[in-house]
Structure 1
Amino acid sequence: MSEQDIQQSSRSQRLRAVGGSVVGTALEWYDFFLYGTAAALVFNQLFFPSVDPLTGTLLAFGSFAVGFIARPVGAVVFGNYGDRIGRKKVLVITLIIMGIATVLIGLVPTYETLGIFAPILLTVLRFAQGFGLGGEWGGAVLMSLEHGDPKRRGLSASWPQIGVPLGLLLANGVLAVMTAITTDEQFMAWGWRVPFLLSILLVGIGMWIRLHVTESPEFEKVATSGIRVKLPIVEVLRTQRRELLISTGARIGTDVAFYIYVLFIVTYLTQMVSMDQSIALLAVLVSAAAMLLFIPAFGALSDRVGRRPVYLAGAVGALVWVFAFFPLLDTQNVPLILLADFIGMLCWAAMYGPLAAFTTELFPAQVRYSGASLGYQLAGILGGAFAPIIAVALYGRFQSWVAIAIYVSAMLLITIISVAVARESAGKNPTTPTSAIMEDRP
């Protein structure tokens, strides 16, 4: 094979790796966000009908949080196998788990039919969703990053990140179509189930793409070198504690801000401001579509100026903007509502674009899947899992958005401190600290 053929093959595999990561991650997040949006719109009535609407929403978001609790479990399990047997095999498994759980959610009888077993079954399937997603993010990011140009890791790792707004766009888009073509009674009876059932088609597409992607080159180097970490997660906890704390703290505020902008906004506009849910869905859809462009743009920018400056600019911007976000929603003016969510999501994209490269570059290749996944998913529990619940509870207690804004800004402050104390990793390829990592030699 000529050098030109080798380069062409390498480019082809790089594109497949990026495409597989983007599509697969988008499908995973479609499943995940579908549940979150449904929790805000219908689950409070269908699965928790014996309480008042605000409490029902709180309980529905509680079942939503269960998915976050399952994610670190999935990160530990799949991170271990991802570092031991390869990224590709694990990504196929996580896609299957998420797809099956989502389809079954679309088939769960409501409280009226099963009574208390309905919300229990819903919560169990939500746990399965979170378990699969716990191993998804790390593998998708690593496949794209480790196949990519070492000098453009910020851009390479940011491509799977657009799976978040793309999945969000798909989930809210399908829900918006269903609400448009059905009456309120029809949507509550069966319309909300259709997006969950459609997941089976999306999983089939994702499986086909992922099965045609080659394994990560960096993992293959580790595998052929004869050097393997016996228990990757143990080594992370033993030798990479500082890096784990930084990766967790860096995402906490990012996650809280995101779920306020894409989930709590639906509850706030429909229940607190008394606007139609279509306005909230429109704001989320417009912002998500724009982030498809801004996330890779901020990832690429981090290759030029560094991860930390871009990340910090987004975090500081989000901290300031949250105090303008709610007053703009209170105006009930649609253009101002769209502006409020767009600027908030723009600040989030400035954090989320470089986040993947920032997090994965903290860890050496032998434990990168485990370390990056665990830090990312722990932040999900401390941040996004309870953000909608805390926001609803704070509003119920104080009847004001100010307490919510203070909570969000406090979480963003944790992110600012974490990123500020981290080392700059742009342009550097982390190596294995030979004195720290145990090796499994043949």
Structure 2
Amino acid sequence: MLECYDFGLALSLAPILSKVFYTNTPTLSLIVYYIIIMIGYFSRPIGAIVIGFFGDKYGRKKTYIANTFIMLIATIMLVFTPSSQSIGALAVFIFLLLRMIQGFSFGGEVGGGLTLCYEYGIPKYSLKFCAIFEALTSAGTILVTSIIAILVYSISPQSMIDYGWRIAFAFGAVLTFISYLLRFKLTETFHPKSQKHPPIYDLFLNYKKRLTLAILLSLVTVSITITGVFLPIILLKITSLTFKDVSYLHIYSSVALLISSLLVATFFPQRFFAKSWLIA
């Protein structure tokens, strides 16, 4: 939940940050900003592969702690990133670099977190633990939109551009630091064994069909992500809704997603998490 706050913040603040890291044309600024966001998403699978590799080689706990530290440093640096008004195009480059680091860390977070949940739990309920983990990503979105809504309600639009967005990132840095400390209390769930090849090689060599199917299934969730992320901004452009209105709508939709996810994780028998549940 806490890492979802850090990664999702830049998306929800798009109308604000596109004015902080801007070009001369407002529409072009938003387009450039979304290209930066997109590059951040491209770094997610890279992070998942790299962090996953180290998790299999050196153990889950220490890798997970190191991964959180990466997110913490990137978020702190975002708080102090100068605007384009201060240092010009260099500000956009710094923001892009930090966004890539966040994406890298978040990629490792999701895969590492699900793996820990599966290995940490009672085997009978391991998939339910994974489902709850996924559900709490919605809680991170609720936290993001709630904090932004409070800021938008409390300060003026110009103040949001001047310093309000930095407060949101600073809050995220505090949350990530708390998460960083909590992870030292985790119990290691995996002890590396001597093996000829790391598991990632075995995955690509011996599980090609399953890997391909998993990739295709994951593309289904892209439609949900695109709708949840970009629809609020489109609504701002084509309707008379304000940024405050859209923030509230985002909270309501995230709450609905969280409740439905938790209901599935809590009440459905484990067998429904297999093929039949995916088809449904």
Please tell me the TM-score bracket, short chain as reference: over 0.9
The residue that corresponds to 2:223 in the other structure is 256
Q: Of 252, 258, 269, which aligns to 1:292?
A: 258
Q: Which residue of 2 aligns with 1:69?
A: 42
CA contact (8 A) 1:84 1:228 kept: no
1:33-182 matches, cutoff 5 A: 33-39=8-14, 41-53=15-27, 55-182=28-155
Aligned equivalents of 2:260 and 2:99: distance in 1?
Answer: 30
TM-score normalized with structure 1 length: 0.60
8 Å contact from structure 2 (residues 72, 177) kept in 1: no
Aligned equivalents of 1:309, 1:288: Cα separation in 2: 25
Cα distance per residue 1:87-126 (max 9 Å; x no partner) = 1111111111112111211211111111111111100000
Residue 227 of structure 1, CA deviation: 5.0
Question: How far does residue 231 in structure 1 lie from its aligned partner after superposition?
Answer: 2.4
**Structure 1 residues 95 and 306: CA distance shift in structure 2, 3 A:** closer
Aligned to 2:6: 31
Matched-pair contact (CA < 8 Å) for 2:125–2:270: yes
After superposition, give the CA deviation of every residue in 1:26-78 in whole Å (9 maximum; x if it has no partner).
11110000011112x2122221231242x322211111111111112212211
Higher RCO (CA-CA < 8 Å; seq separation 6+): 2
| Corresponding residue SS for 1:108 | coil
Let me know the Cα RMSD of the aligned residues.
1.7
Q: Distance in 2 between matches of 1:146 and 1:312?
A: 25
Q: Is the 8 A contact 1:155 1:296 kept in 2?
A: no
Rg (Cα) greater in structure: 1
**How far apart, in 1, do the equivalents of 2:48 and 2:75 lie?**
19
Secondary structure (helix, strand or coil) at the match of 1:162 reads helix
Query: How far apart, CA to CA, are the structure 2 residues paired with 1:280 and 1:154?
Result: 34
Counterpart in the other structure of 1:242 = 209
In the other structure, the counterpart of 1:277 is 243
Q: Give, in angstroms, the shift of residue 289 of structure 1.
A: 2.2
Match of 1:376 in 2: none
> What one-letter code is carried by the residue in structure 2 that aligns with 1:289?
V
Which of 291, 304, 309 matches 2:276? 309
CA distance in 1, matches of 2:269, 2:85: 52
C-alpha distance in structure 2 between counterparts of 1:44 and 1:204, whole Å: 27
Q: Which amino acid aligns with 2:24?
A: S
Segments of 5+ residues of structure 2 without an aligned counterpart are: none
1:261-292 Cα deviation digits (max 9, x unpaired): 2x212212111113112221111112222333
Cα distance between partner residues in 1 of 2:273 and 2:147: 37
Q: Which aligned runs of 4 or more in structure 1 are off by greater than 3 angstroms? A: 226-229
Q: How many residues align?
A: 279
Question: Residues 257-406 of structure 1: matches in 2 within 5 Å?
Answer: 257-261=224-228, 263-300=229-266, 301=268, 303-313=270-280
Task: Choose from 231, 238, 254 the match for 2:198.
Answer: 231
State how far apart, in whole Å, the 2-side matches of 1:267 and 1:293 are. 24
* C-alpha contact 1:103 1:198 (8 A) present in aligned 2: no
| 1:148 maps to amino acid | G
Contact preservation (8 Å) 1:27, 1:163: no
Alignment-mate amino acid for residue 267 of structure 1: I
Residue-by-residue CA offset, 1:131-154 (whole Å, 9 max, x unaligned)? 111211111111111121222232
Query: Which residue of 1 is the match for residue 169 of structure 2?
Result: 196
Residues 1:306 and 1:191: Cα distance change in structure 2 (over 3 Å):
closer
Cα gap change, 1:302/1:49 in structure 2, threshold over 3 Å: closer, same or farther? farther
Residue 372 of structure 1 is matched in structure 2 by none
* Amino acid in structure 2 at the alignment position of 1:47: F
- Whether the aligned pair in 1 keeps the contact of 2:74 and 2:102 (CA below 8 Å) is yes
Q: Is the 8 A contact 2:138 2:255 kept in 1?
A: yes
